[in-house]
A and B are shown apart, each in its own frame.
Chain A
Amino acid sequence: MNQKHSTTDLEATSNGIKKARGHVSQNEGLIFEKSVTGKRGVEFPPLDVPAVDAAKELGAEFAREGIEGFPEVSEIEVIRHFTRLSTWNYAIDLGMYPLGSCTMKYNPRVNEFVARLDGLATEHPSQPDAVSQGCLRIMHDLEKCLLEITGMDAASLEPVAGAQGELTGLLLIRAYLESKGSARRKVLIPDSAHGTNPASVVIAGYEVENIKSNERGQIDIAHFRQFVTEDVAALMITNPSTLGVYEENIAEIAAILHERGALLYMDGANMNALAGVTRPGDFGVDVMHLNLHKTFSTPHGGGGPGAGPVLIKKILGPFLPVPVVREQNGKFALDFNRPQSIGRVRAYCGNFGVLLRALAYTLAYGPGIRQATEDAVLNANYIRKHLEDFYDLPYNLPSMHEVVFSDARQKKHGVNTMDIAKRLIDYGFHPYTTAFPLIVPGALMIEPTESESKEECDLFIDAMRAIAAEAETNPELVKTAPHATRVGRLDEVAAARKPILRWKPRQHLDATPHKVVTTVVPTA
Chain B
Amino acid sequence: MRYLPKSQSERREMLHAIGVKSIEGLFETIPAKYRLRDALRLPGPLSEMEIIDYFKARAAENSRGYTSFLGAGVYQHVRSVVTDALVQRGEFLTSYTPYQAEISQGTLQAIFEFQTLMSQLTGQEVANASMYDGSTALTESVLMAERLTRRHRVLVARTVHPEYRQVLATYAKHLGIEIEEFGFAASGQIDAASVRADSWKEAAAIVVQSPNFFGVLESLGPIAETAHQHGALLIDCITEPLALGIVKPPEEADIVALEAQSFGVPPSYGGPYVGVIATRDKFVRQMPGRLAGETTDAAGRRGFCLTLATREQHIRREKATSNICTNEALYALVVTIHLCLLGKEGVRELAAQNLSKAHFARDVMKQIPGVTLPFTGKTFNEFVVEFPRPVKQVNEKLLADKIIGPLALDKCYPGQEKRGLMCVTEVTPRAEIERLAAAVKNILQSEN
Q: How far is the CB of A455 from chain B (nearest CB, A)?
A: 8
1/0 per position for A138-178, CB-CB distance to B under 8 A? 10010001001100000000001111101100010010000
- Asked if B82 and A41 sit within 8 Å, CB to CB, the answer is yes
Mark contacts of A231-262 with chain B using CB atoms, 8 A cut-off: 1 yes-contact digit, 0 otherwise. Answer: 00000000000000110100100000000000
Minimal Cβ-Cβ distance residue in B for A149: B40
Binds A, one of B195-203, B265-273, B367-375: B265-273
| B438 at interface by CB-CB < 8 Å | no
The residue from B36, B85, B303, B346 contacting A490, defined by CB atoms under 8 A apart: B303
- Residue on A with the closest CB to B426? A44
Q: Distance in Å from the Cβ of B128 to the closest Cβ of chain A?
A: 9
Check if B341 sits within 8 Å of A44, measured CB to CB.
no
Q: Is the CB of B325 within 8 A of A51?
A: no
Task: Spot the interface stretch: A7-15, A221-229, A296-304.
Answer: A296-304
Cβ-defined contact, B342 with A41, below 8 A: yes
Number of A-B contacts (CB under 8 A): 682
Tell me the A195-211 residues at the B interface (CB within 8 Å). 195-196, 198-205, 208
Question: Number of contact residues on B: which range applies?
Answer: 35 or more
| Interface pair A125/B267, CB less than 8 Å apart | yes
1/0 per position for A422-444, CB-CB distance to B under 8 A? Answer: 10010000110000100000000
Interface flag for B448 (CB, 8 Å):
no
Kindly identify which residue among B52, B82, B163, B319 contacts A79, using a CB–CB cutoff of 8 Å. B82
Q: How far is the CA of A28 from the CA of B303 in the complex (A)?
A: 11
For B133, the chain A residues whose CB sits under 8 A away are: 160, 346-347
Instruction: Tell whether, in the assembled complex, residue A134 and residue B58 are in contact, meaning their CB atoms are under 8 Å apart.
Output: yes
Q: How far is the CB of A205 from chain B (nearest CB, A)?
A: 3
Q: Are B72 and A126 touching (Cβ within 8 A)?
A: yes
CB-defined A-B contacts under 8 Å, sample of 6: A40-B342, A84-B106, A122-B63, A198-B313, A353-B271, A452-B5
Q: A85-B109, A302-B110, A488-B298 are in contact. List 12 more A-B contacts (CB 8 A).
A: A93-B93, A135-B58, A276-B39, A277-B36, A278-B27, A301-B87, A348-B269, A353-B269, A365-B1, A367-B40, A425-B102, A502-B127
**Would you call B132 and A88 a contact (CB within 8 A)?**
no
B390 at the interface (CB under 8 A from A): no
Which of B3, B13, B100, B330 is within 8 Å of A301, CB to CB? B330
Interface centre among A164, A174, A350, A375 (most CB of B within 10 A): A375
Identify which of B145-153, B168-176, B226-234 touches chain A: B168-176
Q: Which residue of A lies closest to B13 (CB)?
A: A454
Chain B's nearest CB lies how many Å from the CB of A197? 8
CB distance from A453 to the nearest CB of B (A): 4
Cβ-based interface call for A371 (8 A): yes
| Residues of chain A contacted by B104 (CB below 8 angstroms) | 88-90, 302
Q: What's the dominant secondary structure at chain A's contact region?
A: loop
Complex: chain B residue closest to A170, CB-CB: B174
Report Cα–Cα, A82/B331, bound state, in Å.
14
A89 touches B103 (CB 8 A): yes
B219 neighbours in A (Cβ, 8 Å) = 61
Interface flag for B97 (CB, 8 Å): yes
B207 CB within 8 Å of chain A:
no
Task: Report the Cα distance A57→B119, complex, angstroms.
Answer: 26
Q: Is the CB of B170 within 8 A of A88?
A: no
Chain A residues within an 8 Å CB radius of B167:
343-347
A522 CB within 8 Å of chain B:
no
- The reply to whether A132 and B14 contact each other, CB–CB distance below 8 Å, is no
Among A35, A303, A454, contact of B98 (Cβ-Cβ < 8 Å):
A303
A472 interfacial by beta-carbon distance below 8 Å = no
B326 adjacent to A303 (CB under 8 Å) = yes
- In Å, the complex CA distance between A66 and B14 comes to 62
Instruction: Indicate whether A133 sits within 8 Å of B100 (C-beta atoms), given known contacts A246-B30, A347-B133, A363-B43.
Output: no
A454 contacts which of B10, B129, B266, B347 (Cβ < 8 Å)? B10
In the complex, A362→B169 CA distance in Å? 34
Contact between A503 and B170, CB atoms less than 8 A apart: no
Q: How far is the CB of B263 from chain A (nearest CB, A)?
A: 12
Centre residue among B10, B170, B319, B430 by max chain A CB count within 10 A: B170
Nearest Cβ in chain A — how far from B50, in angstroms? 8
| B113-140 near A? 1/0 per residue, CB < 8 Å | 1011101110001110110111110000
Which of A39, A141, A304, A349 touches B270 (beta carbons < 8 Å)? Answer: A349
- The CA-CA distance from A309 to B362 in the complex, in Å, is 41
Residue of chain A at shortest CB distance from B293? A495
By a CB distance below 8 angstroms, the chain A residues around B111 are 302
Task: For the complex, give the distance between the alpha carbons of A67 and B242 in Å.
Answer: 11
User: Does A477 reach chain B (CB closer than 8 Å)?
Assistant: no
Please measure, in the bound complex, the distance between the C-alpha atom of A262 and the C-alpha atom of B32, giving whole angstroms: 26
CB contact between B43 and one of A73, A366, A377, A400 (< 8 Å): that residue: A366
Interface residue? B192 (CB, 8 A) = no
Residues A442-467 near B (CB distance < 8 A): 450-454, 456-457
B407 CB to closest chain A CB (Å) equals 6
Q: Find chain B residues with CB under 8 A from A277 CB.
A: 27, 30, 35-36
Whether a CB of chain B sits under 8 angstroms from the CB of A87 is yes
Q: Which residues of A contact B319 (CB under 8 A)?
A: 202
- Chain B residue with the shortest CB-CB distance to A93: B90
Partner of B269, one of A62, A135, A321, A346: A135
- Give the docked Cα–Cα distance between A488 and B72 (Å): 47
Interface status of A120 (Cβ within 8 A of chain B):
yes
Interchain residue pairs A-B with the least CB separation, the first 10: A301-B330, A366-B44, A119-B59, A205-B174, A93-B90, A348-B270, A303-B329, A134-B61, A134-B58, A305-B272
A115 contacts partner chain B, Cβ-Cβ < 8 Å? yes
Which residues of A from 336 to 355 have beta carbons under 8 Å from B?
A: 342-354
Cβ of A30 < 8 Å from any Cβ of B?
yes
Cα distance, A125 to B41, chains bound together (Å): 30
B residues within 8 A CB of A395? none
Q: Is the CB of B92 within 8 A of A52?
A: no
How far is the CB of A320 from the nearest CB of chain B, in Å? 12
B217 & A368 in contact (Cβ 8 Å cutoff): no
C-alpha gap A377/B107 in the complex (Å): 30
Q: Of A40, A132, A278, A351, which contacts B345 at CB under 8 A?
A: A40
Task: Tell me which residues across on chain A come within 8 A of B10, comparing CB atoms.
Answer: 453-454
Complex: chain A residue closest to B423, CB-CB? A124
Q: Which residues does chain B contribute within 8 Å of A138, judged by CB atoms?
A: 55, 58
Alpha-carbon distance between A323 and B164 when the two chains are bound, in angstroms: 14
- Select which of A196, A302, A454 is within 8 A of B97 by beta carbon: A302
